[in-house]
Structure 1
């Protein structure tokens, strides 16, 4: 054995011959000077080397390249170590160990973590724990620029990713997955223009100086925009062709994808492929998947709903001012079709090049093709019509089955629930009211106003029915009825005029009857009957006098009249002319100030004076209260007095009888005297 002692007690170096080991004992250390220390020069089989230290002033290699050895460094804390694991080529820090990089430990070391310090400020901080202070990850520049916090109770809440401006949070990703732009934060995307936002592959990638306030979100959205302003493109390929145009809004896959016009066009497209074929059009609104799909240069149009205003491949829509709202509304619009309004599912769905049609309601006018100026409002209104024009149908099922297979100016009007619902090829019909004219088929020139008016199956023409159920059963031609249930007994009758509630001709097959008055019944063909109920009068066509009911079965208290010659003798027949209108009582409606026109006529007339007749009536008690020769208009200020000459007939008959009796008596006396 060889043992070397130094100046320090218990410090020595020993060569142990029995073990072939070199031992540094006590406080002895090993100092190696030079540029390199090569392992393998000193070999020991000892398990540990302790109680000493060493300083290496050169490079240290443990093993050689591609052949390594484990190296393990222990510290003062149990379980804390640094280990080079040669089998995994990993540097391992044991539990409790930390890695500190920097010249100044200005930041506190909390738990296990990594500190990279520069100039006294933490550049990276990794923290583990749940303290109320500190951070989980900090990328710092004098203050926290990026914070990732996994602990709860930190300043901004639990489990957050914060991007900060200085010490002020600006962007937060919460534990719930929400991305929050905090107060005062903005999204700014670098472009040559100003105030543009671009998100997505090649989105708005060609914006130049002068292209401002554009938003492009989605791959290739607004990819062609250069100097256009105020465009919004959201969705794959949305507004992909526009370059210098502005003020367009395209939201959806390929919305307005081919739009390219060099000025502000104010188009709005929302939906997959909405307005995809639009090129140079302006002021359009397309909302819905494939809405306005083939509208190329059409302008000032509104299409809302899936396939609304879709169009036809090869025949693009160029007409303007169309409105189609509803799934497949106006789906086949093409060419120069213009100024149409379609609202409702499939409303006007087959209209091609028609113009100025207004079709509102589910399946309203859905079979119209090349037809113009029709109006249909209500589900199934004008449902089956194809080429008929100038029709107006308002109400559920109005003109439902109208169907002109050739271009026809039909001029039908139907307003009301199922009004004219059976009209097929009829024309010039006006039907207003629920079920009005609902039985008409090929009929023409008819007018029905009122519920169920002119409701029977009718191929005839020129009937007019106004009032609930007026002419409800009529199938004949040229009947006219005015009033509730007026003429509702007529079936095949023709040429009748019926006016009044429940007024009817004498039979269902009546012809040429005129009936006027509430519940009046006609007296026969070719007559005019008027009155109220059973109090009526009638005159045969071509006759010169009016008849009235005189049936003995309607009379009682029958007695011989006594008024006769004496009354007649008190009447004064006169001739006269009517006064001028300016000379009439000013309170009467017939008065016209300054008028030189005579009332009634300019002739010299024969007649009586009403006031004188009234005096004669009052002077004869035999005149009964039912005598209606004299009357007066019912006016507060004293109306005109009237005379009915026909009332004199019974009295004249009585006077003649009296005179005849006198003549017979005188004749008898003369005969006696002469005999």
Structure 2
């Protein structure tokens, strides 16, 4: 008993002068580091901190900084905050330190493909941030996927609201403001950036469908394609700046760089070819003003099945209409025409500084063409009382006259028929005159 008493006194005497000093625990008798309150050193042993289950850990009203090892999760946890709800109620906020399988910024050794992965074990969206800003979100509930700096940042799923579903955004700010739009795919810098509730849209290219808000089922493929579209639906734009200025129009198609509309609300308008401009709904324009030939291996045909024609009348005007026409040759100022119908602020067909385009303008303008002047044809049709379909009249001051030359075939056939009838009468009269002369002889 005396032996234990002496040992206890020795321990007290040893610890007393260390109360206000730092402490060293080691096997070589070295002094503690002066900056450490506790300096533990060993080459053969470690430190065991308290081990407990998750339930035991949660039961602790832990001060900030308490460290334990959770045997349920097999990981270290530390308390970051003690939240006091009421004077009699409080809880600890626990943070999980990296486990032995944590991913390191310096790289990791990977085991088999099933046990090693980067991901989560619950249905909370996985986020990747840069500078504390969303740069990647994978949402297993709404099936939304965003990748790119601030892509999908304001999607309500990540603001405790009702999100859209099945969206995919790739690129800086793509689908940035998407509210409850669903089934959208946006790839490119600011692609579909301002979409709110539009659905089933596909945008590929920087700023494609940039201002779309509620438009549905649009396809924009190319940088700036359908750029200002907001509410228009079922539009298809393929090519850089294709249908750039369409805002509310629907069912429009633009194929080719810088295809556009002269108004942002057309419907069922189609522009095909570089710089092609459509100036009316329900109209197809192929090529820009510098095009000098449109060809194909077969002739263009028009549906002409009698089973679908009704109110058929034989009121076509022939010679009365044809004889009033003035066939002329002329040259066409394609550059002036294009300047008249191009949109300000959009470089559709501006030949200035573009040698190839200016050359094409010059070539097209130098062609000596044969035809009619639409306004004169219109007057001839009115004068002869003929509702002639070959004149395409402008509906607004911004549109232009066009002629459908194939429509001239019908009045020409009628004129030939009328001439044939006159010839028959003349031939009959000549035959009668010959008979009288024969009798006189």
TM-score by length of 2: 0.48
Which is greater in Rg?
1
